[in-house]
Structure 1
Amino acid sequence: MAAPVALNTTKRKFHKLLDNLTANKSQTSLVSVRDDPDGSTGSLTTAPAEPPPKRSRLSDLSMERPPSAAGGRARPLSRDSLLPRNSPERPGSVRLVGPQAGEGPSTPRKTPNYAPYSHDQFLARLKTFADVRLWSTKPDRIGEVEWAKQGWICEGWNTVACKGGCEQRVVVILRPKRKDKDGKEIDNSEDMSMEVEDELVNRYSDIIVTGHTEHCLWRKAGCKRDIYHIPIARRDRCEQDLFRRFQSLIAIEAHLPPPESITYPGEPPETISTFLPASFFAIADVSETQAIPDGIASSSPPNTIALAFALFGWSGVRQEGLNLIVCDHCFQRVGLWLYTKERIQQISLKVDVEESHLRLNLLEAHREHCPWKNPESQHNPVDGQLANTPAWKTLQYILGASKRKSPTLGQSLTSQKSPVHHPQVDKTDKITDTWKRLKSRLKSTTSKRTSNIGS
């Protein structure tokens, strides 16, 4: 029975040592315990020899676990493992991540490659086709819009790729290369004088879908038909976007063409300006996300030239010393130096063309597929008043709808003065008149009967 007594004594001494360490009653380190040959703790503590608190049997069993349970080797004890669980010095079992852990703000989640619902990603893919040095004009069925809707980008000369997806590539060759004066083919060129065969167009129309691999999600479904739609149905939203474009044009105001050098359809900008708040033309620095403030009177007449450009979707930029107007949807770029009054006069005399034919048409300058110009690309709801209407007409209607007496599309855009008849209203009026006559007749009959009874 001597062995069990010695074992229990040793266990009590060990637990006493742990209590002293956690209570900070002794400054003795674990090195002293390791160097003591007989395991005695008499020289390590100055606490009175009182019986230690009883330990549970589960604690004793955990201390008696053989080394084999820990993978054949006993786990070394560390200072952190001996600290109390609620001690601030002991590392927690749950690691905090994010700003609370001092790691800075988390990285925003990246949009996946397959996002047919994303309008921004569609425009980003479409922008890769804007460079005329990489992509030549194609029929509408296999134009850049159709490729971008199905997940393709332009990676090289008439070469599309499913970047980030199945990584397939397709070279779109519709016409032979142009030749130089020596009869040699010119690289990265295309003979635009040659007609495109319908069978070839049909073939590439199928490849827009089947060019992806079998497992690629872009092969299963592309973007919806209305992905190109410009959301300007809300007046506050369209005013903010118009204001952003207007301010970018004011920044290059000195380089904008004069009124006689531009042309455009629809309402004149002077009329549209009366539908806008006065502060629209007075505030110079407003963030894109801010609403246009009210109550600030305009100190100068509105710049109708800049407003005309903004009404047709154009923004002003200055790149490498050149002043340009750009469209954020079809990515067309137009150099303003080509439409100065002097330039138009020179070209008119040189080619013997009237100056009116050389003016900058703010609508026709867009690419054919641009929603500012193309009603199919804009794809307004087919059951609404703005059905089959391009974006420029939609914008003018939205800005003037709340100011006009009769906010119907036909009257707001064509200024029709003839009255509009509504069959449903006419039918309701007839029923009302019939009911009034019936009530009058019934009242008359009742009065006669009452008089006869009284007599």
Structure 2
Amino acid sequence: MNSTKRKFNALLQGLSSPRPSTDDESPAAMFGHRVPSGSKVVEHEAMLQKRRRLGFPDETAPRMEPPVSSGLTSLASSIRRTVSDATTPKVRRDGPARYSPGDRDELLKRLATFQEITDWTPKPDRISEVEWAKRGWICQGKERVRCLLCHKELVVKLKKEAAEGEDGLLTAAEVEAALVDKYAELIVSAHQSDCLWKRRGCDDSLLRISFVSAKGAIEALKGRYEELCSRAAFLPYEFNLRLPEGMDLDEVISQLPPDFFTGRNPTPEPVRPALALALVGWQGLNNTRIGAVPNTASCHTCQRRLGLWMFKSKEVDANGNVVVPAPMDYLDPEREHRFFCPWKNPAAQSRGHSIAKDDAPDMPAWKILLQSIKNEYDLRRVYEGRLKPSSKPAAAAANPSTPVKTPARQAPHHTPNASVDSLAINEEDDEATRDAKDKERWARLRKVKSLFDTKKLRKSVSNRPETPHSIKSHKSTRSIKGD
């Protein structure tokens, strides 16, 4: 009875387990390599049957790999790689396509693809990298652009050779102008018919730097300054810099908040070259793979990179005299920006101002930043009491009716509480003046009210002496009553 039950359980286990493949169905037999069935296969099958009877799952049983030749292994692996490559979609390096005409960060990412001089050479303003990036194009290779949304590609090359035209021989300038007109049209029309970038591109004001919040602008300046301070050993000397006209570092340092130079900096003393570069929009360069690049600065708006070693004097003596000059004569931090950068271009920074005055000149971003720092400094002085918007003597002179404090009531000696006492006296004088004016006003109102009192008016009329006309009227009234 027990043996019959065990056979029945074994039969059920065999039905539930997968059927072992035969030699003809094995991958080795399919490729011409037949695996001989020997005693090892029989022993392995018996071991599996025993484990099933004892209740052990098949997943925990040791597996016996069939002997396959090395040629078959390499062929199977190559086929597996081919199939996986065909079924697995390729990952785009530039990320998923997005239509975002109002996203400034996405516009800057597209502009960053044009920064390699080996892939993209400078073009005229009408077909510059800004115009292509505003319509969703990125630089794909050597003078080649591609739309992220419709994947249309286009080669942009300007041939300056003379050509034969309808009216005769065309000059190189005429050929280039015609090509510029054609490419300016293709920036929009080269997209697919259903591409959204064909309908609308980015606005011109998207590159403009916002200075709505003066505190936010100063915090951003501090972040750029601290990044450059971490590269202080590679920064050029102050005499290697040629600052823009109108920038006074001493004045800027005096107007910055007291805690500006405290933070991650090891010393509270200002690093003047780092501050000068940060004021014009430069900051440290950080690479996504290797991290911070110590000898390079960058602008996150125009994606320009600046090699600091090219502008620092190689050797300076103890007196500050240059022994070995730098490869470049000087560093002009404003000029090193690209032509469309708002830190340099006043027109790019002024775009989008709807309430700008006609007589107000356009200013680059660094000048607006200096004005924001000065405005915040003046406002901070007002809050601290060092700068008053209007003085009391000037207000008293403008209004003669305001009582002025007499010298007899002033404090005889200057004490720390003299300003408080004078302020209290002024408040008392103002209160007394207000009370006197209120009393005078109420007296006038009572006098006017008395004129309209009906009882007094009737009494005054009744006490008035009678006139001949009034006597005749009384007599006529009496005769009528007698009749």
Q: Which residue pairs with 1:273 in the alignment?
A: 253
When normalised by structure 1's length, the TM-score is 0.53
Alpha carbons 1:233, 1:398 under 8 Å: kept: no
Q: Which residue pairs with 1:453 in the alignment?
A: none
Normalized per residue, which structure has more helix? 2
> In the TM superposition, what is the alpha-carbon distance from 1:254 to its structure 2 partner?
1.4
Alpha carbons 2:241, 2:332 under 8 Å: kept: yes
Q: Quick one: distance in 1 between partners of 2:131 and 2:314?
A: 40
Q: Which residue pairs with 1:393 in the alignment?
A: 367
Alpha carbons 2:304, 2:338 under 8 Å: kept: yes
Q: Quick one: distance in 1 between partners of 2:294 and 2:267?
A: 30
Equivalent of residue 206 in structure 2, options 217, 220, 227: 227
Q: Which residue pairs with 1:308 in the alignment?
A: 276
Q: SS of the residue aligned with 1:359?
A: coil
Which 5+ residue runs of structure 1 have no aligned equivalent?
1-109, 178-193, 286-297, 406-428, 430-455
Q: Quick one: distance in 2 between partners of 1:153 and 1:112?
A: 12
Q: SS of the residue aligned with 1:317?
A: strand
> In the TM superposition, what is the alpha-carbon distance from 1:332 to its structure 2 partner?
0.8
Give the number of aligned pairs.
261
Q: Which residue pairs with 2:151 in the alignment?
A: 167
Q: Quick one: distance in 2 between partners of 1:111 and 1:384?
A: 38
Alpha carbons 2:159, 2:176 under 8 Å: kept: no
Match status 1:371 vs 2:381: no
Taking the TM superposition and a 5 Å limit, the aligned residue runs for 1:46-125 are 113-125=98-110
Give the partner amino acid of 1:257: P
| Alignment CA distance shift 1:226-1:155 (3 Å) | same
The alignment yields a C-alpha RMSD, in angstroms, of 2.8
Match status 1:131 vs 2:121: no
Alpha carbons 1:269, 1:308 under 8 Å: kept: yes
Q: Which residue pairs with 1:9 in the alignment?
A: none
Give the partner amino acid of 1:303: V
| Alignment CA distance shift 1:263-1:330 (3 Å) | same
User: Greater CA radius of gyration, 1 or 2?
Assistant: 2
Alpha carbons 2:235, 2:274 under 8 Å: kept: yes
Q: Which residue pairs with 1:334 in the alignment?
A: 306
Q: Quick one: distance in 2 between partners of 1:345 and 1:360?
A: 18
> In the TM superposition, what is the alpha-carbon distance from 1:345 to its structure 2 partner?
6.7
Q: Quick one: distance in 1 between partners of 2:108 and 2:216?
A: 19
**Residue range with higher mean Cα deviation, 139-148 or 309-318:** 309-318
Q: SS of the residue aligned with 1:245?
A: helix
Q: Quick one: distance in 1 between partners of 2:212 and 2:361?
A: 12
Q: Quick one: distance in 2 between partners of 1:327 and 1:255?
A: 17
Equivalent of residue 235 in structure 2, options 251, 256, 273: 256
Q: SS of the residue aligned with 1:284?
A: coil
Cα deviations across residues 314-355 of structure 1 (Å, max 9, x unaligned)?
01237676501100011111111111223887568x9xxxx8
| Alignment CA distance shift 1:199-1:303 (3 Å) | same
Give the partner amino acid of 1:267: M
| Alignment CA distance shift 1:167-1:112 (3 Å) | closer
| Alignment CA distance shift 1:264-1:382 (3 Å) | farther
When normalised by structure 2's length, the TM-score is 0.50
Q: SS of the residue aligned with 2:355?
A: coil
Q: Quick one: distance in 2 between partners of 1:404 and 1:384?
A: 23
Give the partner amino acid of 1:272: V
Alpha carbons 2:257, 2:377 under 8 Å: kept: no
Percent of aligned pairs with the same amino acid = 34
Q: Quick one: distance in 2 between partners of 1:318 and 1:220?
A: 35
Give the partner amino acid of 1:362: P
Match status 1:324 vs 2:296: yes
Q: SS of the residue aligned with 2:296?
A: strand
Give the partner amino acid of 1:284: R
Q: Which residue pairs with 2:219 in the alignment?
A: 240
Alpha carbons 2:282, 2:299 under 8 Å: kept: yes
User: Where do 4+ consecutive residues of structure 1 move more than 6 Å?
Assistant: 318-321
> In the TM superposition, what is the alpha-carbon distance from 1:168 to its structure 2 partner?
0.5
Cα deviations across residues 4-36 of structure 1 (Å, max 9, x unaligned)?
xxxxxxxxxxxxxxxxxxxxxxxxxxxxxxxxx
Q: SS of the residue aligned with 1:334?
A: strand
Alpha carbons 2:234, 2:294 under 8 Å: kept: no
Alpha carbons 1:226, 1:377 under 8 Å: kept: yes
Q: Quick one: distance in 2 between partners of 1:276 and 1:200?
A: 50
Q: SS of the residue aligned with 2:377?
A: coil
Q: Quick one: distance in 2 between partners of 1:375 and 1:138?
A: 20
Alpha carbons 2:214, 2:376 under 8 Å: kept: no
> In the TM superposition, what is the alpha-carbon distance from 1:258 to its structure 2 partner?
0.5
Q: Quick one: distance in 1 between partners of 2:230 and 2:211?
A: 24
Taking the TM superposition and a 5 Å limit, the aligned residue runs for 1:179-194 are none
Q: SS of the residue aligned with 1:398?
A: helix
Give the partner amino acid of 2:334: L
Q: Quick one: distance in 2 between partners of 1:170 and 1:397?
A: 44
Q: SS of the residue aligned with 2:247?
A: coil
